[in-house]
Structure formats: C-alpha cells, structure tokens
Amino acid sequence: MQETVIILDFGGQYNQLIARRVRECNVYCEVKNYKTPIEEIKKIAPQGIIFTGGPNSVYLEDSPHIDKEIFTLGVPVLGICYGCQLMAYTLGGEVSAAQTREYGKTSTKFDNDSPIFKDLPENGITWMSHTDHISKLPESFISVAHSDNCPVAAMQNTEKKLYGIQFHPEVMHTENGVEMLRNFLYNVCECSGDWSMSNYAKTAIREIREKVGEGKVLLALSGGVDSSVLAALLSKAVGSKLTCIFVDHGLMRKNEGDEVEQAFADWDINFVRVNAKDKFLAKLAGVDDPETKRKIIGEEFIRVFEAEAKKIGTVDFLAQGTIYPDVIESGAGDAAVIKSHHNVGGLPDYVDFKEIIEPLRLLFKDEVRQLGSELGLAEYLIRRQPFPGPGLAIRIIGDITEEKISLLQDADFIFREEIANAGLDRDIHQYFAVLTSMRSVGVMGDSRTYDYTLALRGVTTTDFMTADFARIPYDVLAKISNRIVNEVAHINRIVYDITTKPPSTIEWE
Ligand code: XMP
C-alpha cells in the first residue's frame, strides 16, 4: 500500500503547490476539501495531514473550521498559515489581528531542536502573508520560530505530533522550505518515500493490463502532453488493443499534424489520423465570435471522432487524459467560467463504450512529463507547451480563412524558432503569435502596403491561472519582427503583448 499524506484545503492559493512539494519529496499525497468527513480520512490511514493556508480569519463564525477529533487520531498534523492558526484556535490558543501585518520576505529565527528545523540554519528568510497571528499558544505547545513581528512563527507539541508554521514553506521565497516539509514527512510522519515515477509506471502498466484484459481501448490523441503520455502508457500496457484517433482539424501549428503522426509511427498501437480541415473550415466560414468558434470546433470534433470511432465498433474502454489538477475539489468552491475550454472531456455521451479509464488522474503536470520520460516518449512531445483545443482558430481574431491560417502558421513558426535559438524556450512557458484582423499602412520598398498586424504573446506562469508577460530581450524581438515581416507576406506590423493575466487572458479569444 502506498504511503499517503492528506492535504486539507482551506482555500489557500498554494494548495496545489504544497501537494507538488510533498510529492517532490517522494511522498504521495492527495488534496481534499477541509469538509472531508473524518471517517473517510481514517479509512485512508494517512501517514500525516497538512492543513493549507486560507484567506479567512479563524475567529469569524463563517470561516472554515475543523473537528477537534482530527488532532486525536495519533496522525501527525502540520498546519500552514491559516492551518497553523486554526490548529492553535481549535486547541484553545488565541488568534487575533496582529498590530503589524507581515507580508513578503521576512527574516526568521528557528529553534533547531524542533524536528521540522533539524539540521537547517538557525536564521533564514521565510515568506509571510498574514494579518492575524497567534497571540496565545494552546496548552502544551511551544514556539519554535519567531520573527521581529511574530513571536509564534512556528509552534509544536512533539508528544502529540502537532506542528504549525505561520509562513509558507512551499513557496520558493522561503529558504529551505522544501527541507522543512521533508523534515515533517520523514522526521515526524516517518515516511519512507515510496512515491517515484518508475514505481508509478510499473504499477499503472500492471493495473491497466489487468483491467483491460482482451478489451479494446480508444483514445482521442491531440498531440498535447497529457494525451501523448497516456498513449505511451497504454501502448506499453496493452499495445495493439489501443486505437488512437487523432483528429487534425487543420488548425494546428505549422507541420504539427505530421509531427504527431511521426512521433507515434514506431509505437505498437493503431493510429488513425483524420484529416478534417475542410469540414472544420466549412463550419467556421464567416464566424467571428470567439465563443461561437469554440462551440463549433468542440461539436465538430465530437462528430468527426464519433464517425471514426463507429468504424471500430463497440470499444470496452475510453481512455481520458484527465490529470490531478482537474479532479481536485477546491476548499474555496467553484470559480467562474471565463472561456468554454474545449478538450476531450465532452466525449463520453457520444461514443459507444463500457467504461472510462483515466490512468493519469493522480498526477500533476510535471509528473506526467516525468512519466513520459520514463516511458521513452520523444522529448519534444513531453516538453510541448500548452496548445488550446480550438487551435489557431482562437488565435485568428475574427473570421478564419485558409490564407490567414497559413500566414499565422508561418509567422508563429518563425517566432518559436527564434525563441529557441535565443535559448529562451524553457524560460517562457507559453509563446505564440496571434493574427489580429486589424490592418494598417506600411511601406515596403517604395510601395505603400495595407496589411495585417501580428501580435506576439509570451508568458511566464506557474499554473496558467495567472501569468506575467515574458521579458523577451529587445534584440530578440527585433530579430523576430524583422524575419516575420520579411519572410511572411501580408504582415507589415508586429506588436508585443505586455499585459498580465489578469486582467487579460493568455489567449486572445
Ligand atoms: P486563458 O486564455 O484562459 O488560457 O488565459 C489559459 C491556458 O489554457 C489554454 N487554453 C485552452 N486549453 N482548450 C484547452 O485545452 C481550450 O479551449 C483552451 N483555451 C485556452 C491556454 O493556451 C493557456 O495555456
């Protein structure tokens, strides 16, 4: 049985980051809503429990609270930020608004006798973000770290294995933060560290094989990281019992359709590529509203997929590339839908199958990549930046024509090539060109031009929920601009998008 740590989410912005850090320490963990019944937690028999931060004040009635019983299970608990205050409050300590709000990098002093700070420097920088503080410790707790403004930056009751940290060990601004989490996991929870991608791959392959038996498996392959890794995993597990359908809607980046086909040429699977460009373009003709474009593509995708799937007949399993961030139920509730994202999530209603399998549903994105490497998948598929399901349709503002697609493909290709040449492709998390349908006057040779404006977008981000625009050096931008206007006809102006998300989004439509 896999050692598991449970992370109870109180609505903090770093909940997934904590989980990723724990897994980086080779310990499997799951994020659960703070309302998860205690019986369910007991059933999992976790090695440890971590409470996340959250935006509330524990002493307010409406704030998330927790049943005291959780502290009596004999399972080690680590409270972080709000989680720390909640532990103090629930166990009879006092939490109140601090006179000075602490935010940002804070010089902190640690007691190295604490198992959490063992073998780490006595002084260091931590990342604080709180207005409340613990003004009185609960009985039998001692303070084991402090800063100038915060007498209880960490507290513990070693006998009961209860620990609290006011700062955020999971963010990189906290020096040795991951080491502190590791100390909790190994010194306090006594984990052995049995979570690794090679173990995961072996177990997953065995389980899929057992489950699938002689059945047929169907997968919609997009060429994105998740579906590609899933195809590789399934191929190792069930080989030719797998059929991958790759719907090429003609709105991929330059050469991409061929690249995806090529990447799977040597794998032991049935690979079906459907070239459906004409169908998609016919449906999209004259449509310029972003949401309508997205809906049309989503629906057409399903139709094409369905027609192809029918040729195979009834399949036993439909594989989906759902990953862990999609299945975590946040303690903060549902967020508003800004764009109707198109991915294969909508398929089940339309295809004849018996059961869905989602072998990646426990993995974070970086773990999916590790798994891809473990399985020997082509590096460029593993490193691929996100590409939206509707493809270039939402990177061409307004109506879509073949000419515009081809212009954009060429310009985008040059942009990507030069970013790679400048060695920036790992630092900029997503970058692409957008064909605005705006035209403006230019001069080329001695002639007037009246051509398209192309926008370049490059962002850095950890989770794609928020993003900053990438600071691409001017000389790199200059080279890109020069090459594009010279090599791609009908583009005579290039602009660089310098907005963050929010208030913008990453894609333009
Ligand atoms: P936005 O534009 O919402 O994009 O800031 C956030 C991330 O999601 C990607 N994206 C999509 N991915 N289907 C997808 O699978 C979609 O319809 C879709 N729309 C946007 C976008 O590229 C960025 O990485």
User: Domain of 140: which CATH number?
Assistant: 3.40.50.880
**How many angstroms separate the alpha carbon of residue 64 from the centre of ligand 1?**
31
Are 358 and 463 part of one and the same domain?
no
Cβ 385 under 6 angstroms from ligand 1: no
| Each residue's pLDDT tens digit, 114-153 | 999 999 999 999 999 999 999 999 999 999 999 999 999 9
Task: Output 446-450 pairs: Cβ under 8 A, ≥24 positions apart.
Answer: 449/492, 450/492
Distance (angstroms) between ligand 1 centre and the Cα of 224 equals 12
More reliable by pLDDT, 332 or 310: 310
Nearest to residue 477, comparing CAs of 449, 445, 509, 455?
Answer: 455
Two tokens, residue 430? 């997503």
Are residues 268 and 369 both part of a single domain? yes
What distance in angstroms lies between residue 388's CA and the mean position of ligand 1's atoms? 5
Within a domain: residue 505? no
User: How many residues does the structure list for the chain?
Assistant: 509
227 within a domain of the structure (yes/no): yes
Task: Name the percent of the chain lying above pLDDT 90.
Answer: 82
The CA distances from residue 411 to 37, 254, 330, in Å, are 54, 9, 39
Is position 506 within any domain?
no
Task: State yes or no: pLDDT of 460 exceeds 70.
Answer: yes
Q: Does 508 contact ligand 1 (Cβ within 6 A)?
A: no
Q: Do residue 97 and residue 204 come from a single domain? A: no
Closest CA to 365 of 328, 399, 411: 328
Domain boundary pick from 188, 209, 238 = 188
Give pLDDT, residue 341. Answer: 60
Check 25, 84, 102, 170 and give the catalytic one: 170
Same domain, 350 and 487: no
Position 344 scores a pLDDT of 44
Q: Which of 323, 328, 320 is nearest to 30 (CA)?
A: 328
Ligand 1 and 430: CB distance under 6 A: yes
Rounded CA-CA distance 454/432 in Å is 10
Does 211 sit in the ligand 1 pocket, CB within 6 Å? no
Same domain, 459 and 363: no
Q: In total, how many domains does the chain have?
A: 3
Atom of ligand 1 nearest to the CA of 339: 3
Q: Are residues 279 and 219 in the same domain?
A: yes
Section 299-324 average pLDDT = 90
Residue 507 forms part of a structural domain: no
Report whether 275 contacts 249 (CB < 8 A): no
Q: Among the atoms of ligand 1, which is closest to the Cα of residue 385?
A: 24
Residues 171 and 56 in one domain: yes
pLDDT of residue 465: 82
CA distance 428 to 460: 5
Q: Residue 346 has what pLDDT? A: 53
pLDDT in tens, 78-106: 999 999 999 999 999 999 998 888 999 99
**What is the token pair recorded at 357?**
């399998």
- For residues 378 and 413, membership in a common domain is answered with no
C-alpha 393/C-alpha 90 separation (Å) is 53
pLDDT at 353 over 90: no
Q: Output the CA torsion sign for 82, 88, 91, 95.
A: negative
Position 351 pLDDT exceeds 80: no
Q: What is the mean pLDDT of residues 335-350?
A: 56
Q: Which of 161, 188, 215 is the last residue of a domain?
A: 188
> Which residue matches tokens 């998860």?
36
Task: Domain of residue 471: give its range.
Answer: 395-496
Map tokens 């019944």 to a residue.
37
Mean pLDDT, the chain, rounded, equals: 93
Count Cβ atoms below 10 Å from residue 148 Cβ, excluding itself: 11
pLDDT of res. 10: 94
Q: How confident is the model at residue 345 (pLDDT cuts 50, 70, 90)?
A: very low
Q: What is the mean pLDDT of residues 23-34?
A: 95
pLDDT band at 334 (very low <50, low <70, confident <90, very high): very low
* Amino acid making up residue 22: V
Spatial separation of the C-alpha atoms in residues 370 and 366, rounded to whole Å: 6
Are 68 and 107 contained in the same domain? yes
pLDDT tens digits, 379-415: 888 999 999 999 999 999 999 999 999 999 999 999 9
**Is beta strand 48-51 parallel, antiparallel or unpaired with respect to 491-496?**
unpaired
16 belongs to a structural domain: yes
Residue 24 CA, ligand 1 centroid: distance in Å: 26
Q: Choose the residue to mutate in 323, 507, 508 for probing ligand 1, maximizing ligand atoms within 8 Å of C-beta.
A: 507
- Ligand 1 site, residue 96, Cβ cutoff 6 A: no
- Hey, how many other C-beta atoms are within 10 angstroms of the C-beta on 314? 13
Phi/psi class of residue 111: alpha, beta or left (left: φ > 0; alpha: ψ in -120 to 50)? beta
Please state, as a whole number, how many other Cβ atoms lie within 10 Å of the Cβ of residue 415: 24
Q: Which residue has the tokens 């549902």?
A: 334
**What is the reported pLDDT for 339?**
61
Rg (CA), the chain: 26
Q: Does residue 368 sit in the same domain as residue 237?
A: yes
Please check whether residue 388 lies inside any domain of the structure: no
342 is catalytic: no
Q: Given 349, 382, 415, which residue is the final one in a domain?
A: 382
Report the CATH number at residue 207: 3.40.50.620
| Residue 508 resides in a domain | no
Confidence of residue 67 (pLDDT cuts 50, 70, 90): very high
**Is residue 272 within 8 Å of residue 245, measured between CB atoms?**
yes
CA of residue 117 relative to chain centroid, distance = 30
What confidence tens digit (pLDDT) does each residue in 198-230 have?
999 999 999 999 999 999 999 999 989 999 999
Task: Give yes or no: residues 85 and 154 share one domain.
Answer: yes
CATH of the domain at 420: 3.30.300.10
Are residue 351 and residue 441 in the same domain, yes or no?
A: no
CB–CB of 98/130 below 8 Å? yes
Question: Do the domain assignments include residue 401?
Answer: yes
The arithmetic mean of pLDDT across residues 350-360, rounded, is 86
Q: What is the pLDDT of residues 238-262, one digit of tens each?
A: 999 999 999 999 999 999 999 999 9
Cα–Cα distance, 456 to 424 (Å, whole number): 15
